[in-house]
Structure 1
Amino acid sequence: MSYLRSLPAETTLLQVFQAYPGPARHLLAFHEELLRGESPFSPGERELIAAYVSGVNSCDYCHGIHTVTAEAFGVPGGVLAAALEDLGSAPVDERLKPVLAYVGKLTRTPSRMTDADADAVFAAGWDERALHDAVLVCALFNFMNRMVDGLGISADAGYATTSGERLKEGGYAGLAGLLPNA
């Protein structure tokens, strides 16, 4: 139930963005650049990172939507649930496991990050740009999880499917196109 009393009780994030389009435009532009722009990670891998971080945070809204989006980009169904259950045995690409371990630790215990954590990402064949992008996706979704939970936003699985498919087709720029002109 939304804590924004001027909006419906069952408010979605899109409705919040439409109510407050100024900050939303900047936020969605950042999403578009980070999640759909040039990166060593594919859009599906970046959505996987977003969904994983959201799962670590127990943000069902973001986890659900970005799991659907990651799967729409080709991440096999069930991979995110398995990764959250036990990353070591999950059917995740071996190169991505240290990246997910990194963002998981950064989410749970940010002050405990070490050179060894970054070295594991590099040892898996990723470069500094990849580490940078993974950290930014992690940071963005920690922010988004706090925003969603702080505003009391929730949705059912049907909405997650609709939203995830919309993100796959139109990206975050497509969402910005749904905002009123300022």
Structure 2
Amino acid sequence: MSYLKSLPTDTTLLDVFRAYPASARPLLDFHELIMRAPSEFSAGERELIAAYVSGVNGCDYCHGVHTVTAEAFGVPEGLLTAALTDLDSAPVDERLKPVLAYVGKLTRTPARITDADAEAVFAAGWNERALHDAVLVCALFNFMNRMVEGLGIEADAAYAKTSGVRLRDGGYSGLATLLGA
């Protein structure tokens, strides 16, 4: 139920973006840059990171939408649930496990990140650009999780499916076109 009384109780994030386009447009531009511009990670892997961070935070809205988006990019169904339950035994690519461990720790206890955490990412074959990109995805979705939860935005599985497919097909710049004038 949205805490914004001027909007319907079943308000989605897209409705909030439409109500506040001045802040939504640069935010969506930033999403497009972080989530779709060239990166060491594929778009699906970045969506996986976003969904994982959102799951760690317990943000059902973002976790649902970005799980669907990650799966639409080819992440196997059920992988995110398994990763959140037990990352070590989850069927996650071995190169991605230290990345998810890093962003999970950064989300839960940011002041406890150490050089050893970064070294685990590098030891898995990732470079500094990859660590940078993973941290930006993590930071962006910690921000978005707090925005969604702070505004009381909720959605059901049907909306997550619609939104996830829309993000796969049009990216975040596609959302900006839905804001209107």
Cα deviation digits, residues 33-57 of structure 1 (max 9, x gap)? 1100010000000000000000000
Could you tell me the TM-score, scaled by structure 1's length?
A: 0.99
Alignment-derived partner of residue 141 in structure 1: 141
Cα deviation digits, residues 69-110 of structure 1 (max 9, x gap)? 000000000000000000000000000000000000000000
Alignment-derived partner of residue 6 in structure 1: 6
Alignment-derived partner of residue 106 in structure 1: 106
1:179, 1:161 → 2: CA distance?
20
Q: Could you say what the CA RMSD is over the residues aligned between the two structures, in angstroms?
A: 0.3
Alignment-derived partner of residue 116 in structure 2: 116
Alignment-derived partner of residue 130 in structure 1: 130
1:37, 1:18 → 2: CA distance?
24
1:141, CA displacement in angstroms?
Answer: 0.2
1:40, 1:153 → 2: CA distance?
32
Alignment-derived partner of residue 153 in structure 2: 153
1:79, 1:137 → 2: CA distance?
19
1:36, 1:77 → 2: CA distance?
21
Aligned residue type for 1:103: V
Alignment-derived partner of residue 69 in structure 2: 69
Aligned residue type for 1:32: E
The count of aligned residue pairs is 181
Identity over aligned residues, as a percent? Answer: 79
Alignment-derived partner of residue 86 in structure 1: 86
Cα deviation digits, residues 2-46 of structure 1 (max 9, x gap)? 000000000000000000001100000000011000100000000
Alignment-derived partner of residue 59 in structure 2: 59
2:155, 2:47 → 1: CA distance?
19
Q: 2:88 aligns to what SS in structure 1?
A: helix
Aligned residue type for 2:161: T
2:173, 2:180 → 1: CA distance?
13
Q: Unmatched 5+ residue regions in structure 2?
A: none
Q: 1:138 aligns to what SS in structure 2?
A: helix
1:87, 1:149 → 2: CA distance?
25
Matched, 1:95 2:92: no
Aligned residue type for 1:111: A
1:180, CA displacement in angstroms?
Answer: 2.3
